[in-house]
Chain A
Amino acid sequence: MNKPLRRIAIFCGLLVLTLLLRDNWLQYVKADSLADSKYNRRVTIARYSVPRGDIIVDGSPITGSKEMDTSGLNDLKYKRTYKDGPMWAPVTGYASQAFGATQLESVDDKILTGNDDRLFFRNTLDMITGKPKQGGNVVTTLNAAAQKAAYNGLKGHGKGAVVALEPSTGKILALASYPSYDPSSFAGMSDSDAKAWQKLQKDNDPDDPMLNRALRETYPPGSTFKVVTAAAALENGLYTSADQPTNSPDPWIMPGTVTPLANEGSIPCKNATMRVALKYSCNTVFGKIGADLGQDKMLSEAEKFGFNSEQFTPVRANASNFSKDMNASQVALSSIGQFNTAATPLQMAMVASAVANDGKLMQPYMVDKLQSPNLDTLEQTEPKELSRPLSSKNAQILQSMMETVVKDGTGTNAQIPGVTVGGKTGTAQHGVNNSEKPYAWFISYAKLPDGSSPVAVAVVVEDEAADRQDISGGGLAAPIAKNVMEAVINSRK
């Protein structure tokens, strides 16, 4: 009977082997995805078991942690608190015991909870020495003064968003969205937290305060897109200087149609130079440039500026859109920021920033470094070049055009004494037959006397209350951009 016995021994061995393999599958291969499953309660418990690390702006935390009563069944020891919650919400996102976490709170959750693999050694050491575990910090690139200027500027004008970048690095200096919400109000798991959460949902609040307009909403960019079109004209050699007359009839009938493309008011657009066309915001000139260049060249230039791809700052920003498969008239409309062209405020700030940085587009980012609980740097974000939409020469031509806009064009409201400002206004129509209130846009950058450019801004305002004539980028958005730029320049002194 020994031969079958040996086989049974092998069979039993195989049973155990199968279990061992399954266990390796579970606890090694699938371990992370199981451990990080959003339904796994341990994720929430870990998130709130230690004082959560802080999100830091200008050296001081904009978040905090509050110890909760855990004598009962409550297994979550700490609750998140926020300073100036509504102002910083587009940056921090929220970390709620009941409703999960988003944006920075979610992207860098492992650092903030102290569970990151890079903290493993330290945690082990703490365990041996009996020190309680702590979360690490996320140091942001933001500028508190600029953020404040942006948020307060929007506050007076209904809905909108502001993004400010440092052109030479891509650092995000301001990221404001209005209306906003206070993430502290639903950070816990009590009934009042649930009520606050319910009230903020889009179904209950048509203003959708929890939408991060700076990163997650795309608006038709209107005339601000003409900067991209001008860049395409220069890059493709259609025109080689700002002061060369363009071949632009006025009125101009869009190719393949009988419809003339209209200009706003009576402005000198016939065969205008690009400088003059940008100064007065001529639809005919830039529409025709787009149609002359054709869809492929426009698309390629727009994509070099970052259109049609999501950005990770590391918080995800929606992709801005420049359509493919358009006919010639649609290309012409797209080239003046209409038709299906849509951009996030971040995207338009990237456009201004690339022009200001002599044609080099830097990857926008808001996390400067990740710190361990004892403030050692775990990871430092290095500025990274994303693309080069313009040659340095063409960028300078475009700068001089944009500076004309602010000096004596539609953007005079953004002038700052002693600083060279370049910008472009935009008034984007939307809705069926342009029935809804247009969006007021302004994109700009500031250049110091030493030639360096500390800040580029994009502002979009959707103002329900203002009357239609007033909604011009120069009137509503430019003053906000000016305040943000001033705040950045002053904070550098």
Chain B
Amino acid sequence: MSSTTNTSTHHTSTIGAIGAPSRRNTELALLVFAVAIPVFAYANVGLAINNEVPSGLLSYGLGLGLLAGVAHLVVRKFAPYADPLLLPLATLLNGLGLVVIWRLDQSKLLQSLPNYFQAAPRQLLYTALGIALFVVVLLFLKDHRVLQRYTYISMFCALVLLILPLVPGLGANIYGAKIWINIPGLGSLQPGEFAKIVLAVFFAGYLMVKRDALALASRRFMGLYLPRGRDLGPILVVWALSILILIFETDLGTSLLFFGMFVIMLYVATERTSWIVFGLLMSAAGAVGVASFEPHIQTRVQAWLNPLREYKLSREVTHDGIVHSDQLQQALWAFGSGGTLGTGLGQGHSDLIRFAANSDFILATFGEELGLAGIMAILLIYGLIVERGVRTALAARDPFGKLLAVGLSGAFALQVFVVAGGVMGLIPLTGMTMPFLAYGGSSVLANWALIGILIRISDTARRPAPAPVTNPDAEMTQVVRP
């Protein structure tokens, strides 16, 4: 941004080409902290649980440091002007997530559960794969505008990804939500996480082409710009799609996420507030409509409204055919017991949440062991990632880049809100995971790819203008001046 304003205001100036500092050393310095903090946290957990520094401390530290180092070097080489905060923030969250997953692996209570396995080594592997994917994105995606070519292919891919969990034999119903697919030999995958990115590419490409038609051809009615009937088409399609996800995969979070992302991008593309009004009305109508006949959603809402009752029911033998879960109440107790400063890592009892303590509910462990202070820090880190993403969108010079960046950051923000809000009892629970913190290969991989794309866009945005002759007026003025 600064380089372009420079050239247009100081007419004699051509030094804009030298451009803004690349900030790579800032990133490196921040990365040192982003690796050091989880290493200290890891040592802390070991001391708290086993009274000794964990034996894997060195290899863990080196591993995380190496991954961060590789990512940094690739950014330095292939995206030198990229935003310096995104990589360290993501690394920090990923590292802390690993520590807490390892901490929960040590819980005797969780070890006694039938489907227990050591999650931390797998998550470390996923992290390595995630950073590899990040590197691949930066290596092969030299310019994000290339993605524009794949607008409709993206749409197709997104649809396939979303439908996969419903394919018989492939999909898996885990605790009521059908958002998983089983790949024999590889484990399970949550295609929704990837669909998030692919859909953003599709929306960005589509809206960039159609924005004028959507924005201008409309009638004014009661202060709102009503779109033409045929322009309503895409929003109706996406709405229907998210409703279908809600019905067939009973996944409130994903459908909210996709629809919200679309409304955000539509609003940015058309600059019409009326789209937001429509979006809110339609999502409310859809949610209420589906909730009125879908028992799984109703259970979630009931559990949200009265978690203590649900806790008590989960302790009794009920004959209503509903699986009552005490998880939300347990999570709330974990938060409350953490208080302002928390119990300290490794000293809480968030394992009482049992199932999904290290994935959907991982934030509760942070809440109990790091307290209000820790959660606020983590939420602010998420906030920073989102705002750096939106900042990237602001700085981007091409509408496709702007739309893609805001779509991805908006989706990230919505996901954080939906998951954290669900775990903290602000909104009904949905089956999604905290980006980077929670255990889950799909989530880690997809979010590293997301960060990779944002870094690519921000690199393009902050890269100095390629040639001094971008502004012909400046050249002419220069000639005229003495």
Q: Please list the residues of chain A having a beta carbon within 8 angstroms of any beta carbon in chain B.
A: 1-9, 11-13, 15-16, 18-20, 22-24, 26-28, 30-35, 37, 39-42, 45, 73, 75, 127
Among A7, A35, A40, the residue within 8 A (CB) of B339 is A35
Cβ contacts under 8 Å, B421 to chain A: 18-19, 22
**Contact status A16-B413, CB under 8 Å:** yes
**Contact status B386-A16, CB under 8 Å:** yes
Q: Tell me the smallest distance from the CB of A468 to a CB of chain B, in Å.
A: 49
Is B194 interfacial (CB 8 A cutoff)?
no
**Contact status A5-B417, CB under 8 Å:** no
A32 vs B349: C-alpha distance when bound (angstroms) = 16
Is B268 interfacial (CB 8 A cutoff)?
yes
A75 vs B339: C-alpha distance when bound (angstroms) = 22
Q: Tell me the smallest distance from the CB of B81 to a CB of chain A, in Å.
A: 20
Among A1, A16, A22, A73, the residue within 8 A (CB) of B382 is A16
Residue-wise, chain B 281-311 has the 8 Å CB interface mask toward A (1 for contact) of 0000000000000000000000000001001
Given pairs A19-B379, A19-B420, A26-B336, 17 additional interface contacts (CB within 8 A): A1-B403, A7-B267, A9-B390, A12-B409, A12-B410, A15-B413, A15-B417, A16-B416, A18-B417, A18-B426, A24-B376, A27-B339, A28-B372, A31-B336, A35-B339, A37-B333, A75-B109
**Contact status B426-A33, CB under 8 Å:** no
**Contact status A26-B383, CB under 8 Å:** no
Is B99 interfacial (CB 8 A cutoff)?
no
A18 vs B7: C-alpha distance when bound (angstroms) = 40
Cβ contacts under 8 Å, B108 to chain A: 73, 75
**Contact status A19-B416, CB under 8 Å:** yes
Among A13, A26, A37, the residue within 8 A (CB) of B387 is A13
**Contact status B352-A41, CB under 8 Å:** yes
Is B335 interfacial (CB 8 A cutoff)?
yes
A41 vs B368: C-alpha distance when bound (angstroms) = 14
Interface residues of B in 413-461 (CB under 8 A from A): 413-414, 416-417, 420-421, 424-426
Q: Which residue of A lies closest to B390 (CB)?
A: A9
Cβ contacts under 8 Å, A27 to chain B: 335-336, 338-340, 367, 371-372, 375
Q: Tell me the smallest distance from the CB of B109 to a CB of chain A, in Å.
A: 7
**Contact status B394-A5, CB under 8 Å:** yes
**Contact status A22-B424, CB under 8 Å:** yes
**Contact status A73-B112, CB under 8 Å:** yes
Is B406 interfacial (CB 8 A cutoff)?
yes
What would be 22 A-B contacts, judged by CB atoms less than 8 Å apart? A1-B268, A4-B268, A8-B264, A8-B410, A9-B394, A12-B386, A16-B416, A16-B417, A19-B424, A20-B376, A22-B424, A23-B335, A24-B376, A26-B332, A27-B335, A27-B336, A27-B371, A34-B333, A35-B336, A39-B311, A41-B333, A75-B349
Cβ contacts under 8 Å, B339 to chain A: 27-28, 31-32, 35
A127 vs B402: C-alpha distance when bound (angstroms) = 51
**Contact status B376-A23, CB under 8 Å:** yes
Cβ contacts under 8 Å, B367 to chain A: 23, 26-27
Q: Which residue of B lies closest to A70 (CB)?
A: B108
Is B106 interfacial (CB 8 A cutoff)?
no
Q: Which residue of B lies closest to A3 (CB)?
A: B271
Q: Tell me the smallest distance from the CB of A20 to a CB of chain B, in Å.
A: 6
The B interface, classified by DSSP as helix, strand, loop or mixed, is helix
**Contact status A34-B337, CB under 8 Å:** yes
Cβ contacts under 8 Å, B402 to chain A: 1, 5
Among A13, A28, A45, A127, the residue within 8 A (CB) of B340 is A28
A246 vs B264: C-alpha distance when bound (angstroms) = 93
The A interface, classified by DSSP as helix, strand, loop or mixed, is helix
Given A1-B268, A16-B386, A24-B372: A45 in contact with B349 (beta carbons within 8 A)? yes
Q: Tell me the smallest distance from the CB of A296 to a CB of chain B, in Å.
A: 46
Q: Tell me the smallest distance from the CB of B373 to a CB of chain A, in Å.
A: 9
Q: Which residue of A lies closest to B350 (CB)?
A: A42
Cβ contacts under 8 Å, A42 to chain B: 333, 337, 349, 352
Which residue, B379, B399, B402, B425, has most C-beta atoms of chain A within 10 A? Answer: B379
Which residue, A13, A28, A42, has most C-beta atoms of chain B within 10 A? Answer: A42
**Contact status B383-A16, CB under 8 Å:** yes
Given A26-B332, A39-B308: A1 in contact with B399 (beta carbons within 8 A)? yes
Which residue, A23, A27, A30, has most C-beta atoms of chain B within 10 A? Answer: A27
Among A3, A16, A18, A23, the residue within 8 A (CB) of B372 is A23
Residue-wise, chain B 313-353 has the 8 Å CB interface mask toward A (1 for contact) of 00000000000000001001101111110001000010010
Q: Tell me the smallest distance from the CB of A50 to a CB of chain B, in Å.
A: 13
**Contact status B371-A20, CB under 8 Å:** no
Among A7, A12, A34, the residue within 8 A (CB) of B383 is A12
Cβ contacts under 8 Å, A9 to chain B: 387, 390-391, 394
A16 vs B426: C-alpha distance when bound (angstroms) = 12
**Contact status A19-B426, CB under 8 Å:** yes
Cβ contacts under 8 Å, B416 to chain A: 15-16, 19
A27 vs B363: C-alpha distance when bound (angstroms) = 13
Interface residues of B in 76-101 (CB under 8 A from A): none
Which residue, A5, A13, A42, has most C-beta atoms of chain B within 10 A? Answer: A5
Going nearest first, the 8 A-B pairs with the smallest beta carbon separation are A34-B336, A27-B372, A16-B383, A12-B413, A9-B390, A35-B337, A15-B417, A40-B333
Q: Tell me the smallest distance from the CB of A349 to a CB of chain B, in Å.
A: 41
Q: Tell me the smallest distance from the CB of A18 to a CB of chain B, in Å.
A: 7
Cβ contacts under 8 Å, B329 to chain A: 39
Q: Which residue of A lies closest to B399 (CB)?
A: A1
Q: Which residue of A lies closest to B308 (CB)?
A: A39
Cβ contacts under 8 Å, B312 to chain A: 39
Cβ contacts under 8 Å, B426 to chain A: 18-19, 22
**Contact status A19-B417, CB under 8 Å:** yes
